[in-house]
């Protein structure tokens, strides 16, 4: 009898952890989008060197000076401490970064578009708009789930 209650308690706790871990609040969504965007731009930029040629180094410098890396670290520090939720957020960051990097390196025209995007990220408004676009894209991913209000 005691084993049965213990088993049920573990099962309920595990189910709650999975339910809580598999969704994001609005604030968490923006942090995940910011991190995925930063990683995606960095990954795409690494792949675009051959297409950007002489523009590559100035584009890298613009990316580094944009403030995105500092915002990435701030967002990373605000990720949930709950292991299940943190793992879910980390998976979404990586999926969105890969998707963006793949889209922006499809060909040299995409790399040129990436360079233009990076140029617009030096202004805070440009980054905010870019992060909002990436958050909107994230909500369309099959793995994304928004938490109910208050969670």
Domain span holding position 49: 2-139
pLDDT for 97-132, tens place per residue? 999 999 999 999 999 999 999 999 999 999 999 999
User: What is the percent of the chain with per-residue pLDDT over 70, rounded to a whole number?
Assistant: 85
The pLDDT value recorded for residue 21 is: 60
- State the SS3 of 53-117: HHHHHHHHHHHHHCCHHHHHHHHHHCCCCCHHHHHHHHHHHHHHHHHHHHHCCCCHHHHHHHHHH
- pLDDT of res. 134: 95
| Spans of the chain, pLDDT less than 50 | 2-20
With respect to residue 126, please indicate whether it lies within any of the assigned structural domains. yes
Q: Is 0.85 surpassed by the pTM of this model?
A: no
Would residue 53 count as lying in a domain? yes
Residue 99 within any structural domain of the chain: yes
On whether residue 16 sits in a domain, the answer given is yes
94 belongs to a structural domain: yes
Question: Number of structural domains, the chain?
Answer: 1
The answer to the question of residue 30 being in a domain is yes
Q: How many CA atoms lie within 13 A of 20 on its CB side?
A: 14
148 domain residue, yes or no:
no
């Amino acid at each position: 009898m005691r084993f049965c209650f213990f088993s049920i308690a573990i099962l309920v706790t595990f189910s709650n952890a999975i339910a809580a871990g598999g969704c994001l609040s609005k604030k968490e969504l923006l942090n995940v989008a910011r991190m995925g965007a930063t990683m995606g731009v960095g990954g795409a930029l690494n792949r675009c060197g051959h297409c950007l040629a002489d523009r590559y180094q100035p584009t890298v410098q613009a990316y580094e000076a944009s403030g995105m890396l500092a915002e990435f670290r701030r967002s990373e520090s605000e990720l949930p401490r709950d292991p299940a939720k943190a793992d879910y957020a980390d998976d979404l960051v990586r999926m969105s970064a890969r998707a963006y990097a793949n889209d922006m390196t499809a060909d040299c025209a995409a790399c040129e578009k990436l360079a233009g995007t990076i140029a617009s990220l030096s202004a805070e408004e440009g980054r905010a708009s870019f992060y909002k676009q990436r958050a909107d894209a994230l909500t369309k991913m099959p793995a994304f789930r928004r938490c109910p209000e208050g969670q």
